[in-house]
Amino acid sequence: MSSVERAKATQLANIQKKTGKSMEELTELIQSSGLSKHGEIRSMLMEKLGLGYGDASMLVQHVLKTDVQLVVNEKGLTTDEVLDAIYSGPKSNLRPIHDKIMDSINQFGEFEIAPKKGYISLRRKRQFATLGPATNTRFELGINAKSLEADERLLEQPAGSICNYKVRLTEVRQVDQQVISWIRKAYEAAG
C-alpha cells in the first residue's frame, strides 16, 4: 500500500471516529440523501456532520467511487497522460506555467503526485501544494503552509479549504523566486 493509500485509509478512519458513524452508516446517509452532485453532498456532510471541506470531499469520493486516482490506477495512465488531458484544448497555454513550477519542486526532494480530475495534488506526509488550470486563461497554485508573509499575490483561503493559500498565475514569468519560496516552505512543513 502506497503512502497516499495509507493516508486515505487513515483519513477515512478518522472521519468515522469524528462522526461516530461506521462507513456503512455514512454510505447510507449519502445514498439516502437524494443528492447526486459532489458539491451538494459535500455541503450536506459539512452541515450535518460538521466535517471540514477535505474530509467531506474525501468521503464523497470514496462512497461515489469518483476518486480520480483510482480511475488513473485502473486505466494504467501515466502522470504525463493525465497532464496531457488536464492541459488539453484551450488550457494548453497554461502547461508551461505548470512545467516551470514542477521543474523547481523536483529539485526539493522526494514527493508524490496524486492526479485529480482537473489538477494534481503534491504530497509528502501530507499535501503541500495543488497545481492546475482554474480557467482557460488562469493557472491556480494552492499552497499548504502556515503564516506566510503577506503579499498581494498570495490569497489566503477560508478555514477548511483544500489549501491555506492560492496564487493565481497567467504567465510563466510570474513564477518567480518568491512563489518558489512559498512552495518550498509548504514542502518542508509537509515532510
Q: Do 9 and 36 fall into the same domain?
A: yes
Tens digit of each residue's pLDDT, the chain (191 residues)? 555 577 778 888 999 999 999 999 998 999 899 887 878 888 899 999 999 887 888 888 788 776 555 555 556 667 778 888 889 999 999 999 999 999 999 999 988 888 877 888 898 888 899 999 999 999 999 999 988 888 999 999 988 788 899 999 999 999 999 999 999 999 999 98
Q: Which residues span the domain enclosing 181?
A: 79-189
Whether residue 72 lies inside any domain: the answer is no
Q: Do 99 and 182 fall into the same domain?
A: yes
Among 66, 91, 110, the domain boundary falls at 66
User: What is the tally of structural domains in the chain?
Assistant: 2
DSSP assigned state of 129:
E
Is the full-model pTM beyond 0.85?
Answer: no
Q: What angle do helix axes 3-19 and 23-31 make, rounded to 10 degrees? A: 80
Q: Do 145 and 176 fall into the same domain?
A: yes
Q: Do 59 and 83 fall into the same domain?
A: no
Q: Cα–Cα distance between 86 and 68 in angstroms, integer?
A: 12
